[in-house]
Amino acid sequence: MSRHALLAVALAVQFSVPLLAQVPRVTTRAGAMRVSLPRAVLVREDVRRQLTNGLTTVFTIGVTTSAGARRARVEIRYELWEEKYLAEVYEATGRRSADLADFERLLKWWEQLTLLFAGNAGVGEADVTIDVLPFSAREAADVQKWLAGSMTKAQAASGLAKNLPDPAQESSNFFDILIGTSMKRKPIVEMHWKVPIVAEGR
Amino acid sequence: MPRWVAAVLSATALAALIAFGYLMRQMSAITAGLAAHEEIRAALRTSLGDQKQLARLDPANRDRYRTRFEQFRTLQQRLDVVHMTGVQMTRTLVYALTSLVAVAMAMAVGSYFIVRRDREQRLARIRSALAELSTGRSGITLDDHRRDSIGTIASMIEETSRVIAGDRKTIQYLEHLSAWQEAARRHAHEIRTPLTAARMEIEDVIARATVLAPLAEDEFARRRRSIIEELDRLRDFTTQYTSFARVGKPSLARMDLRSFVSDFCIVFRNAWPNLTLVSPNGSSPCLVAADGEMLRQVLVNLCSNSSLALGKTAGAVTFSISAHRGQVCLDVADDGPGVDAAIVSRLFQPYVTTRTIGEGMGLGLAISKRILLDHGGDLQLIDSAAGARFRLTLPAAANEHA
């Protein structure tokens, strides 16, 4: 091969890899759909900052094809004491988890991650969305209960409330419902792609 | 209310609502800001680092530092979530509370207009009823019995209308009765004079005839007795006319009606062989102001009517007393055949009777009703399942010791 050809191939590889890393990959094989996630999601500055604050960052992945819409979820939390990343994947086959010592390992794990969706992907293109939520539903419920308990204790201290509910139990008063309905997890990042569905060999 | 006043009130309410929403928003923002203040969160982050450092330096108490670390971490995460959602929560809280206040204000305004409209309608009905009352109309009904001042006025109008209707009926009856009494007085006068003259002439004729024909003395005596009997019957008839025409005014005295009726039952227990008189129950006195003689006349008349109605059948007349709203009611009930339905509507008019000619002129009930009306009360026939029931109503006398 000539030097020019070799240079052309090298340049193509160098640019295509980053390009491939920017979009998800949807493949179908043996009646199941697999989705690989782009590293571009994780290397964003706002996402990387969110990953290190100790809250559970939730990545909700939605895939819509001619065969229907399906969802999966990846939760990543930085364990502040042990200084490592704890990742959990929720997909069609169930749940799996991983412990990663640093961000580089996390990135590598992310790139190698393939989400499995049951059922055929259909043909044509797939709409892939990734929403990055700043905290998990469990953490939101915990804060809701904590705020409700704080209000109850404040009422008790001021002597306003009689028959105080047990702070450990879920309160159904007006403010509790108000907090619950207003504490919506607004995505910090929303990404959307339209990618071709690739049928892989059997 | 003038339109400009309503406009000012509405503008004030709207301004108050906007001010409320603004203040709520400011207060909620301050509260949320305090809860997730950056200095507090930074201090917590520093504390987390401190606990890890302490754990490294003092491994023997690592668990204790770990526990404290987790507490700080949990608190920091909660404050981070509040920091992220504070604006959302503030907005929702402000919208919810402002909406509640707006709904409360709208309901208050709506209620005011509904109540006002209802009051205006009720007042319009009151005005209409008062106009009818002023024209002398009776039988007015308003069907407004709510426990407020308008309901009280409506009840008073209805009561006044009933009293007017009752008074008007009484006045009509008394006028009618007066006309009958005047006619009876004139008839009695016209009959009495020639009656007396005829009696004297007959005595004179018989005396002269006996002198002229001494052999027919027995025949003359027999004819004299026959003529005098008829003249006496005519005289009795005139006497009834006279007593009807001269119903006197009652001489009122304070009396206990219950003991009066009980005494009557004892004194007159054998006056009507086919009647048993049943005294009223109870022992508490019922004080009325009445003319005992006239009252007795009424009771005798009622018992006589019962006895005649029963005929050969034995029966009872039961007396019962009740008091209600300043009046005392004495019910006289028998177990006879009752009053003929054909004459019920005219029962208290003079000369109304179901008896045959010669058995009474039908003046007893008219005289009895006149007596009760002159006492400030009344005499009525009350609906009864069996027999006849009459109700004497008398004003209650005030208690001496009250």
In this complex, the residue of A143, A181, A184 whose CB is nearest that of residue B78 is A143
Q: B78–A146: do the CB atoms touch at under 8 Å?
A: yes
Q: Which residue of A has its CA nearest to B94?
A: A178
Instruction: Give dist(CA B288, CA B133) in Å, integer.
Output: 32
Instruction: Tell if the pTM clears 0.80, that is, is over it.
Output: no
Structure token digits, residue B52: 């890890």
What is the chain B residue with the closest CA to A180? B89
User: What residues of B are in contact with residue A53 (Cβ under 8 Å)?
Assistant: 80
Could you tell me if A151 lies within 8 Å of chain B, comparing CB atoms?
no
Chain-chain contact of B81 with A80 (C-beta, under 8 angstroms):
no
- Those residues whose C-beta lies under 8 Å from the C-beta of residue B212, and which sit 6 or more positions away, are none
Cα(A38)–Cα(B216) distance, integer angstroms: 162
Backbone torsion region of residue B39, taken as left when φ is above 0, otherwise alpha when ψ lies between -120 and 50, otherwise beta = alpha
pLDDT of A103-136, one tens digit each? Answer: 999 999 999 999 998 877 777 899 999 999 999 9
Q: Name which residue leads in pLDDT, B16 or A162.
A: B16
**Model ipTM value:** 0.76
Instruction: Note the pLDDT of residue B319.
Output: 96
pLDDT in tens, A27-38: 988 888 899 999
Higher-confidence position of B249 and B261: B261
B73 touches A at CB < 8 Å: yes
| CB within 8 Å: B81 and A178 | no
Average pLDDT of every residue of chain A? 81
Verify whether the Cβ–Cβ distance A135 to B78 is below 8 Å: no
Span B239-268, average pLDDT: 86
pLDDT tens for B264-304 read: 999 999 999 999 999 988 888 889 999 999 999 999 999 99
Q: What value does the mean pLDDT take over residues A163-190?
A: 62
Residue identified by tokens 């503008």 is: B11
pLDDT tens across B61-113, in order? 999 999 999 999 999 999 888 888 887 877 877 888 888 888 888 888 888 88
A138 part of contact set with chain B, CB < 8 Å = no
Determine which of A51, A181, A182 to mutate to test the interface with B (most B C-beta atoms within 10 Å): A182
Angle of helix B292-310 relative to helix B257-267, nearest 10 degrees, comes to 50
Question: Phi/psi of residue A42, each to 5°?
Answer: -80, -30
Whether chain B has a CB inside 8 Å of the CB on A88: the answer is no
Least confident piece of the model among B128-137, B227-236, B350-359: B350-359
Interface mutation vs chain B, best among A183, A184, A185, most B CBs within 10 Å: A183
